[in-house]
Chains A and B, each alone.
Chain A
């Protein structure tokens, strides 16, 4: 199994500012995924981060708004840029590192509130 730590666990931010969320994994993994979960909603994949290459973004998400770094096999960051109240969500980091085929492990999430 993989243990994932996210920082911050929660934050309150002002409109127009940017916040960087960190994701640390206790083992080396190839792929890391960033999800957004809006209040009362399901999870939506933002992007896939492969070490050593540019992140791949899903439809509706762009690099300028959600820049991602993946400097090594155990760490990634997601920045939420120029935040608005609509960005208030839980942001989750995930890795595909299970022994089982395709099992995903998730962090506890970072709950952002934008005022």
Chain B
């Protein structure tokens, strides 16, 4: 399983765009890149997933360069409620079963 490296923590002011980069140098051909958000006292929640290039949904965008050795989660105009831990994961999908490893995560603190 590919190991991921991401910043331990980040601070941002409300209304700003936040970019969290994750390094996964040993990503395998079949691996997808997935980001999860975790609030205190809750289980992680899926944000976005991609394989290559750019993916966008109603919550975030995910940028993946051609070599796929890194990825960047972009949160537009963050609010206080976006304060959470964000995890980057890479894992193999095989028939709907994905075994993944959680990295250290990035603790995002949004400041008023």
Which residues of A come within 8 Å of B, CB atoms? 4, 30-31, 35, 42-45, 48, 92, 94, 96, 98, 100-109, 111
Establish whether residues A94 and B99, one from each chain, have CB atoms under 8 Å apart when the complex forms: no
Whether B93 contacts A104 by the Cβ 8 Å rule is: no
In the assembled complex, the Cα of A52 lies from the Cα of B28 at a distance in Å of 30
Residues on the A chain within 8 Å of B96, using CB: 30-31, 96, 101-102
Do A42 and B102 touch (CB < 8 A)?
Answer: yes
Is A96 a contact partner of B43 (Cβ separation < 8 A)? no
Size category of the binding interface on chain B = 20 to 34
Note all chain B residues with C-beta closer than 8 A to A4: 43
Known contacts A104-B46, A109-B43; decide if A42 and B99 are in contact (CB<8 Å). no
- Min C-beta distance of A6 to chain B, whole Å: 9
Binding site for A on B (CB under 8 A): 32, 34, 36, 41-46, 49, 87, 91, 93, 96-105
A43 and B46 contacting across the interface, CB-CB below 8 Å: no
Majority SS at the chain B contact face: strand
Bound state CA distance, A102 and B31, in angstroms? 10
23 A-B contacts (beta carbon < 8 Å):
A4-B43, A42-B102, A42-B103, A42-B104, A43-B102, A45-B99, A45-B100, A45-B101, A48-B99, A92-B43, A100-B46, A100-B49, A102-B32, A102-B96, A102-B98, A103-B34, A103-B46, A103-B49, A104-B44, A104-B98, A109-B42, A109-B43, A111-B41
Counted as pairs of residues, one from A and one from B, with CB atoms less than 8 Å apart, the total is 61
Chain A residues, Cβ within 8 Å of B44: 43, 104, 106
Cβ contact within 8 Å between B102 and A44: yes
The distance in angstroms between the C-alpha atoms of A31 and B91, with both chains bound, is 15
Query: Are A96's CB and B98's CB within 8 A?
Result: yes
Given contacts A4-B43, A104-B98, 16 further A-B contacts (CB under 8 A): A30-B96, A42-B87, A43-B87, A48-B99, A94-B43, A96-B98, A101-B96, A102-B32, A102-B91, A104-B36, A105-B46, A106-B43, A108-B41, A108-B43, A109-B41, A109-B42
